[in-house]
Amino acid sequence: MNIRIEARELKKAFNRRVIFQNLSFSLAQHQTLLVTGKNGSGKSTLVKILGSVLTPTAGTVTVTSDFTGRDHSPLADIGLVSPYLMMYDEFSAVENLSLALAIRGMSPHAAEIDALLEKVSLYDRRHDLVRTYSSGMKQRVKYAFALVHHPAILLLDEPMANLDNEGIDIVHRVMEEQRERGILIVATSDLSDINSYDLRVDMNERR
């Protein structure tokens, strides 16, 4: 797969106030990036930019892989879990995952979806509306949503939010698997969330 992600001179400003600038790094397959910083330092902003759901004020993010140039959408490389990510709560977990695949232009496979929901311990409640879920369950649906298309790059913003011990174990397993598969990027204010990383960006120093 040979996935690489490169950020060059990233800058973001809101209302002309600069959140961060001159941010550059490069990540290769099997590598992990840790983004740290106190609340409001721009961690989530950076994650959104890397996940291509926010446009930087300046600078570029480039993702390259063996897939580039074929019938491959760059969106398929990205999986994102974030407190800002919302599921469609009038639909069930299964329906959310089906629509995610369908909107990506892929075919939903019921068996695969069930297996994934089993992995995040939502199998029993998979047909219930997300509206009825606890916050921990909602967090776990987000993981399923981020993983259902097997992304090469997984971005986790506050990965352990709302999770109990079982949930935390699930996330550690997910992180391990992602390191095997591609690139892992974790943004957190709690350093105990992650045990090893290859690169670290501290947003506190970036202003």
Partner 1 sequence: MNAVEHIGHSWARSVIAIFKKDWHSELRTRYAISALVMFVITTIAIILFSIGNESAPPDLLSAMLWVVVFFAAMSGLSRSFVTEEERGTAMTLQLLTSPSAVLFGKLLFNIVLVFGLNALTVVLYALFINGFVIRTLSIFVVTIILGSTALAASSTILAAIIAKANTKGTLYPVLSFPILLPWLLTVINGTRLASEGAFFSEALGEFQILLSYIVVVVATSYLVFPYIWKE
Partner 2 sequence: MAVGIWLALVIVAGLSLPMVSQPSHWYELPIIPGLEEKARIIFFHVPTAWLSVLAFLSSMVFAIRYLRKRDLDDDIKSASAAGLGFLFCTLATLTGAIWAKFSWGTYWNWDPRQTSIFVLLLIYGAYFALRSAIDVDEKRATLAAAYSIIAAVTMPFFMFVMPRILSSLHPEPILNAQGKVQMNTTMLVVFLSSLAGFTGLYVWMWNLRVRAHRVELSHLHPTSSGGGALG
Q: Which of 84, 127, 176, 202 binds partner 1 (CB under 8 A)?
A: 84
Window 21-40: contact mask with partner 2 (x via CB under 8 A): x-------------------
Q: Which of 17, 70, 107, 165 binds partner 2 (CB under 8 A)?
A: 17
Which of partner 2, partner 1, none interacts with 21 (beta carbon under 5 to 8 A by kind)?
A: partner 2
Closer Cβ to partner 2, 43 or 206, answer by number:
206
Site residues for partner 1, 131-160, by CB under 8 A, read 145
User: In this structure, are residues 5 and 77 in contact, taking their beta carbons and an 8 Å threshold?
Assistant: no
User: What is the DSSP pairing of strand 4-14 with strand 58-64?
Assistant: antiparallel
Q: Which of 16, 70, 71, 165 binds partner 2 (CB under 8 A)?
A: 16
User: In this structure, are residues 7 and 153 in contact, taking their beta carbons and an 8 Å threshold?
Assistant: no
Which residues have CB under 8 Å from 61's CB, separation 6+? 5, 6, 7, 8, 10, 49, 50, 52
Site residues for partner 2, 129-168, by CB under 8 A, read none
Nearest to 156 by CA among 189, 202, 120: 189
User: What is the DSSP pairing of strand 183-187 with strand 32-36?
Assistant: parallel
The answer to whether residue 16 forms part of the interface with partner 1 (CB under 8 A) is no
- Taking the CA atoms of 190, 191, 195 and 199 in sequence, report the sign of the dihedral they define: positive
The amino acid present at 39, given as its one-letter code, is: N
The answer to whether residue 70 forms part of the interface with partner 2 (CB under 8 A) is no
The answer to whether residue 57 forms part of the interface with partner 2 (CB under 8 A) is yes
Measured distance between the N- and C-terminal CA atoms of the chain, rounded to whole angstroms: 35
The answer to whether residue 52 forms part of the interface with partner 2 (CB under 8 A) is no
Q: Which of 38, 131, 173, 207 binds partner 2 (CB under 8 A)?
A: 207
CB of 65 to partner 1, least distance (A): 15
- Interaction site with partner 2 (CB under 8 A): 13-18, 21, 55, 57, 207
